[in-house]
Structure 1
Amino acid sequence: MIRLHVPQTLFPGAALAPTLDQSRYLTQVMRLKAGDLLLVFNGVDGEWRCVVAEVLKKGVILKAEDQVRPQTHGPDLELIVAVVKKARVETIVEKAAELGAKRVRLAITQRTNAERIRLDRLDAIAEEAAEQTGRLDVPVIDEPVKLEAILDTWEDGRRLMFCDETGGAPPVRALASPSPSGEGERKPWSILIGPEGGFSPEEGERLRALSFTTAVSLGPRILRADTAAIAAMTLWQAAVGDWDRGYDRD
């Protein structure tokens, strides 16, 4: 069934007005008409069955009927990635949403060769990926910030999987090790992917010295940023993520 992300509160009988683009998608692409059913979610109230109540000249009106899935949340995982070429950033955001990231943070490193980033475009990509994958929320996409500022304001208790192109432990082995604080595997995590030119020696030295960092290697081959992001998130999900169990982080 078609799934749609909406910002409105969901409850029995709620009238929902999708955006003009969403309305065109429903009526012109998917050919829905009055009386047809679809699923909607807003990241807060779970997933709801809705009916197309009215088809107007400039949009549609949906009516919420009943909840089909309560709200759940995946692991608290964020992807931090250096800004690379636009097409690759878009791929990274799409795959991060598919692989369960809660947040994508764009970083400016010493070797970043930044292109103009359209956050509205990235938000739309993340939303579409969430609709297609069945997740009940949409990852947040942050505007680019200097890596040093991200590290200076690091969240207490969050661990960092640093994908170090100069060397590190195999990811599965490193992630299976107890955390430095002795806390459980369900603590918040971040994954850091560098720019095409790699991290500078100063950045690498600082990252490896941080108490919350787990340095890992993604193998003997040099990977592009989008490939590295997909590989790292896959390995993380397989080791400590939600692939082998239900995961509710309310």
Structure 2
Amino acid sequence: MVTTPRLYVDAPLDDGAELILPREQAHYLVNVMRREAGSPVRVFNGRDGEWQAVVADASRKGASLQVETRLREQVGVPPLRLCFAPVKKARTDFIVEKATELGAAVIQPVITRRTQSERVRTDRLMALATEAAEQTERLCLPVVSEPVTLERLLADWPEDHRLIFCDEAGDGEGAWGGPQGRARPMLDVLRAEPDPSGPWTVLIGPEGGFDDAERARLRSLPFVRAVTLGPRILRADTAAVAALTLWQALAGDWP
């Protein structure tokens, strides 16, 4: 079975349009995928749907495509944003890749008091998100935003968004996961909302969780919904996947 390559292009798509591929994409198509003139390629740009194209020219110097037929009309993703505290490089990469696959519209790194990895290259994360979108049939790219502090994130909060705060701490003595003050299960919280499908943000904390002041601040805000993701403490990358999956299954575009 021969797989047709699928590429994101930052150019208008229409019947008969000619696309000159950037060097990296030309290298991938010609040298990695071994495509020649006449080979089919699928392309999308996040605005005009997905189109069938063919390789018009392929050489060591570059490659161009000829756009032929629209395959799918443009559709977006639900209004879901993921905010997360950056962790180690490989796990941050995993979070961005899986958030793209799971349909997050915006991916926002957030610097908290316990964040251990504050250096974030959004250009590299955007490249990862683009590759994930190409591989998973998504028709648009997520927005990968520059990091902000938790204080700035909350100060600039959009009025129509609700925030899912993944809070596993509880208020028991000494106690991560103590029995007092535990959040409610995420699905119960979503089912209690009059309209669970509106704009939402999922917030995932750093390794070690939010500190007491951050947690108290979050719990005090009217747009925040504190939730638990089960009886076990999840790593940040696992928690991100779990929370996005639960939201999509109940309120997103999976049903």
TM-score class, shorter: over 0.9
> After the TM superposition, which of the residue ranges 214-223 and 72-81 deviates more from structure 2?
214-223
Matched, 1:81 2:84: yes
Matched, 1:229 2:240: yes
The alignment-based identity, stated in percent, is 53
CA drift of 1:185 comes to 2.7
> After the TM superposition, which of the residue ranges 158-167 and 127-136 deviates more from structure 2?
158-167
Is the CA contact 1:85–1:115 (under 8 Å) kept in the aligned structure 2?
Answer: no
Mapping of residues 72-221 of structure 1, within 5 Å: 72-166=75-169, 167-179=182-194, 184-221=195-232
SS at match of 2:237: helix
Residues 49-76 of structure 1: per-residue CA shift (max 9 Å, x gap): 0110111332101011111101001101
- Specify the structure having the higher radius of gyration (Cα): 2
Q: How far apart, in 2, do the equivalents of 1:38 and 1:110 lie?
A: 46
Residues 202-241 of structure 1: per-residue CA shift (max 9 Å, x gap): 1111111111111110112121110110111111111111
Which of 10, 18, 21 is the matching residue for 1:18?
A: 21
Q: How far apart, in 2, do the equivalents of 1:69 and 1:40 lie?
A: 11
Runs of 4+ in 1 over 4 A off after TM superposition: none
Alignment match, 1:248: none
SS at match of 2:146: strand
Which of 5, 10, 23 is the matching residue for 1:2?
A: 5
CA drift of 1:186 comes to 2.6
| Paired AA for residue 155 in structure 2 | D
Q: How far apart, in 2, do the equivalents of 1:22 and 1:45 lie?
A: 20
Q: Which segments of 5 or more consecutive residues in structure 1 lack a partner in the other structure?
A: 245-250
| Paired AA for residue 134 in structure 2 | E
SS at match of 1:143: coil
- The CA RMSD over aligned residues, in Å, is 1.1
Q: How far apart, in 2, do the equivalents of 1:199 and 1:93 lie?
A: 20
Is the CA contact 2:18–2:66 (under 8 Å) kept in the aligned structure 1?
Answer: yes
Matched, 1:67 2:70: yes
| Paired AA for residue 235 in structure 1 | L
Q: How far apart, in 2, do the equivalents of 1:239 and 1:210 lie?
A: 24
Alignment match, 1:56: 59
Residues 77-124 of structure 1: per-residue CA shift (max 9 Å, x gap): 010001111111100000000000011000000111124222221111
Q: Which segments of 5 or more consecutive residues in structure 2 lack a partner in the other structure?
A: 170-181
Alignment match, 2:179: none
How many residues align? The count is: 240
Q: How far apart, in 2, do the equivalents of 1:223 and 1:185 lie?
A: 24
Matched, 1:239 2:250: yes
| Paired AA for residue 73 in structure 1 | G
| Paired AA for residue 75 in structure 2 | T
| Paired AA for residue 108 in structure 1 | I
Alignment match, 2:44: 41
Is the CA contact 1:92–1:226 (under 8 Å) kept in the aligned structure 2?
Answer: yes
Quick one: higher RCO (CA 8 Å, sep 6+), 1 or 2? 1
Is the CA contact 1:86–1:115 (under 8 Å) kept in the aligned structure 2?
Answer: no
Residues 164-205 of structure 1: per-residue CA shift (max 9 Å, x gap): 0123111111111124xxxx3331110000000210111111
SS at match of 1:206: helix
Is the CA contact 1:3–1:39 (under 8 Å) kept in the aligned structure 2?
Answer: yes
Q: How far apart, in 2, do the equivalents of 1:17 and 1:225 lie?
A: 40
Q: How far apart, in 2, do the equivalents of 1:118 and 1:177 lie?
A: 38
Is the CA contact 1:111–1:199 (under 8 Å) kept in the aligned structure 2?
Answer: yes
